[in-house]
Amino acid sequence: MGYDISDYMDIDGRYGSLIDVDELIAQLKKRDMKLMMDLVVNHTSDQRGWYFWKKGKIDTDGKRLPPNNWCRILDTTKSAWQWDEETQEYYLSLFSPEQPDLNWDNPNVRAAVHDILRFWLNRGVCGFRMDVIDHISKVQSFPDADRTIPGQYCQPGNAYYANGPRLHEFLHEMKAVLDEYDTITVGEMPFVNDEDEIIRTVGMQGSLNMIFLFKILNMDNEPGQSKWSYHEWDATDMKRIHDQTQRLMIERGGWNAIFTENHDGPRSISRFADDSDQWRDFAAKMLCTKSITLGGTEYIYQGQELGMRNIPSDWSIDEYKDVESQSYWRATPMQWSAAPNAGFSKSHVKPWMRVNDDYPNVNVVRQLADPDSVLSYWKRCLKFRREHKEVFIYGGFEILDPEDKDVVAFRRFSEHESFVTVTNFTGKHLKWSGLGEIKIKEWVIGNYELESHNESPGKIVKLRPWEGIIGRS
């Protein structure tokens, strides 16, 4: 799926060429836009060197065993070590056998990564999303992991391969290169949870501008289990996470990356709300209402702005093409239009993945022409966010009614303005009384009409199913 890179200074011919990248950057610049690239340097294609090689162990029966019991990240039943007949050694490959992990303790590896950074920055790229960047430093003794999955030899070893002893040294070396340019960086760091470690990474002395924290995306996972396990949740869980992450960055000088979808998880409307035909648009707009009023930098995953939902459960697993999807479900190609294959490719070319069957109704072209569409609502809300950036991007944060299990509400405020966001995470009509002493001057944005709210403002807010509203206070 493109994460086993063999040449970091070229483009796979199936996607175009370096000339196409230059044209893309030039056209983006004309539109006052910039291009961030995905930097995948924890692992490379198996066509390169500079990896972790170990002889392995022999058990009491004389059977050959991997160097330790770490399992793969994408398949916990298999060892993270791959046997190589030619060298008669194992190499570490946390994700798949075709993606061996680079040994960042080798200075030649780090020098090569720095060359990659300069190559793309010199072409006009503005920065990087750094793939699993918290994995680049491993504990060099490679100890066995604790047994947390019963009944099998292989175990998650993230305590030893994530947030390792030299991580910040390596990140600061990269930052020294990046500081030669005007750049932006966001790190994918799925195993960073400690507040001190977060601020060490994205605080005033940190090496990255922001990181993707997976607290919301892990909210409905069974504690201690994989992301495919399910744990019941309610609005109190979401509020607790927002309260922690928002206040952490405000109080300690860090910065948030705001996101509710990515390529590794379900669609947010299917996961956190209601993707039925009856409530789909309302639920998608409600999620947008909450997202655009959180502090930090907003990230929107392709199709989220359309209200794209999970694909039907009756599809065969054969429709899923990437490594992880052979065991679990994932997302679909972008639905651009009602043309064959949703405009993702020409009609005579089969897309790499099947397009969701709802694409004739849910696509960019149709929603651009509809002022009431999810896409139009996202555009309106993002414009409102920019107009009041001192509040929504940089302002203070206060959770309202933290014990309510159905409503996620909070106040955002600056020296000159104050707004309240109220979102109903149920399909029920509710009467919410969590404003306390706050008085709403006017409800200004919502995914339903606002007349009924503004005609009789008061301490009781009547919320319709999956409603999201923003009020000036």
Give the pairing of strands 36-39 and 127-130.
parallel
Rounded Cα–Cα distance for residues 5 and 100 (Å): 10
Percent of the chain scoring above 70 in pLDDT = 96
Residue 290 has pLDDT above 80, yes or no: yes
User: pLDDT tens digits for 411-438?
Assistant: 999 999 999 999 999 999 999 999 999 9
What does the DSSP assignment read for 156-208? --HHHHSS-TTHHHHHHHHHHHHTTS--EEEEE-TT---HHHHHHHHSTT-SS
Tell me which CATH code domain 34-45+107-382 carries.
Answer: 3.20.20.80
Active-site residue, 322 included: no
pLDDT at 330: 39
Rounded Cα–Cα distance for residues 303 and 388 (Å): 25
- State mean pLDDT over 459-468: 96
Topology match between the domains 34-45+107-382 and 399-472: no
pLDDT at 212: 96
pLDDT at 324: 64
**Topology of domain 399-472, per CATH?**
Immunoglobulin-like (2.60.40)
Catalytic residue chosen out of the listed positions 134, 188, 324, 358: 188
pLDDT at 313: 78
pLDDT at 318: 72
Please report, for the chain, the start and end positions of each structural domain, with discontinuous segments joined by +.
Answer: 34-45+107-382, 399-472
Helix and strand numbers (H, E) in the chain are 12, 18
In order of 100, 136, 173, the CA distances from 50 in angstroms are 9, 13, 19
Residue length of the chain: 473
Element (H, E) at 288: helix 280-291
Catalytic residue chosen out of the listed positions 75, 131, 322, 390: 131
Rounded Cα–Cα distance for residues 136 and 103 (Å): 8
Active-site residue, 220 included: no
pLDDT at 179: 96
User: pLDDT tens digits for 295-339?
Assistant: 999 999 999 999 999 988 787 767 766 566 654 443 367 788 888
